[in-house]
């Protein structure tokens, strides 16, 4: 019953935000995000602790508070945009989208090794597969299912609306490799903490961060080009930046290569977060898992 009520409330919200002019809907989304910023003490404090450690003496406390508020406002705007997506035409979506570097994706796809799309929980990350699907560049996206099955089915259908395919985050590595060898494109968000059994520790904002080693492993095993892809929020719309494939180090020493490649991926993500810190998900405990050489345990 609780899940059904949540679903019905979401349907009501979608109906409200669908009929509002886009600028007004965005303002309301930012206001809702600001409200959660005040109420969500736990995650607000996590964000501020992360920001203080990341920027140290680079920014004042007031600047960090402003960034933390901006994170919530970005999430509020993004939620409103996702709620509107199912009722927008492809033309309406693309009118709000600038794509820079689509030719890099297209060239990488012609290599017949598949394409690994490297991204993060940055900007409105849900916008990327929607817009690129419309632009003729659909992908497989790896996601964690939403706990509410009614909402999960609705979001699943939205994500696949323009030719994309949703994969469960528990999809095993052999299946991902199989898809790449068929020439498919697969999107990975590589900016979340993982436990020690899956982690390689590389610096992120100067602190060792447990980062999933699977992506570097897959890149080495398949030879698939890794194409960085990020969406940057604009005043009224989004700019998707697609970079050239990354040059991956291959020394022949697997352990070293996995570390160096994972570091390269993480540095790329950090470069975007430094430019637009309010557009990244600082609410996540990115540095939760600590390396074995540190005293203490995960947490």
Percent of the chain whose predicted confidence (pLDDT) is above 70: 98
d(CA 49, CA 173) in angstroms, rounded, equals 34
Residue 122 structure tokens: 């940055």
Q: Report pLDDT digits (tens) over 278-292.
A: 999 999 999 999 998
pLDDT at 17: 92
Q: Which DSSP string do the residues of 209-242 spell out, in sequence order?
A: EEEESHHHHHHHHH---EEEEEEEEETTEEEEEE
Provide the residue ranges of all domains of the chain, joining segments of one domain with +.
2-279
Q: What one-character DSSP code corresponds to residue 190?
A: -
Q: What is the pLDDT of residue 296?
A: 56
Mind listing the pLDDT tens digit for each residue in 29-85?
999 999 999 999 999 999 999 999 999 889 999 999 999 999 999 999 999 999 999
DSSP 99-166: EE-HHHHHHHHTTSS-EEEEE-SBSSTTHHHHHHHHTT---EEEEPPPSSHHHHHHHHHHHTTTS-EE
Vertex 74, ends 72 and 78: CA angle to 5°? 115
- Under 8 Å between Cβ of 120 and 230: yes
What mean pLDDT, rounded, does the chain reach?
A: 94
Q: Is the pLDDT of residue 211 over 60?
A: yes
Confidence of residue 249 (pLDDT cuts 50, 70, 90): very high
- pLDDT value of position 168: 87
Residue with tokens 């080693």: 213
Q: What are φ and ψ of residue 37, in 5° steps?
A: -60, -40
Q: What is the pLDDT of residues 259-282, one digit of tens each?
A: 999 999 999 999 999 999 999 999
């Amino acid at each position: 019953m609780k899940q059904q009520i949540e679903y019905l409330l979401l349907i009501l919200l979608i109906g409200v935000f669908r009929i509002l002019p886009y600028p007004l809907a965005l303002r309301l989304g930012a206001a809702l995000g600001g409200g959660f910023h005040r109420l969500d003490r736990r995650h607000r404090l996590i964000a501020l602790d992360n920001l203080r450690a990341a920027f140290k003496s680079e920014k004042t406390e007031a600047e960090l508070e402003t960034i933390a508020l901006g994170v919530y406002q970005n999430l509020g705007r993004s939620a409103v945009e996702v709620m509107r997506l199912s009722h927008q035409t492809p033309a309406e979506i693309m009118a709000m989208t600038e794509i820079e570097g689509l030719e890099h994706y297209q060239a990488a796809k012609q290599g017949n090794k598949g394409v690994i799309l490297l991204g993060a929980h940055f900007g409105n990350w849900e916008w990327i597969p929607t817009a690129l699907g419309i632009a003729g560049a659909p992908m497989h996206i790896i996601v964690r299912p939403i706990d509410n099955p009614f909402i999960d089915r609705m979001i699943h259908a939205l994500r696949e609306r323009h030719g994309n395919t949703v994969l469960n985050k528990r999809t095993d590595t052999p299946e991902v490799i199989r898809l790449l060898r068929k020439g498919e494109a697969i999107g990975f968000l590589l900016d979340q903490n993982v436990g020690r059994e899956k982690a390689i520790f590389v610096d992120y904002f100067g602190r060792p961060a447990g980062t999933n080693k699977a992506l570097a492993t897959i890149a080495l095993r398949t030879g698939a080009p890794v194409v960085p892809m990020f969406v940057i929020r604009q005043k009224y719309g989004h700019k998707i930046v697609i970079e050239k494939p990354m040059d991956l180090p291959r020394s022949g020493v697997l352990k070293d290569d996995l570390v160096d490649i994972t570091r390269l991926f993480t540095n790329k993500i950090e470069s975007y977060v430094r430019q637009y810190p309010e557009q990244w998900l600082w609410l996540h405990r990115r540095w939760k898992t600590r390396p074995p050489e540190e005293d203490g345990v995960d947490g």
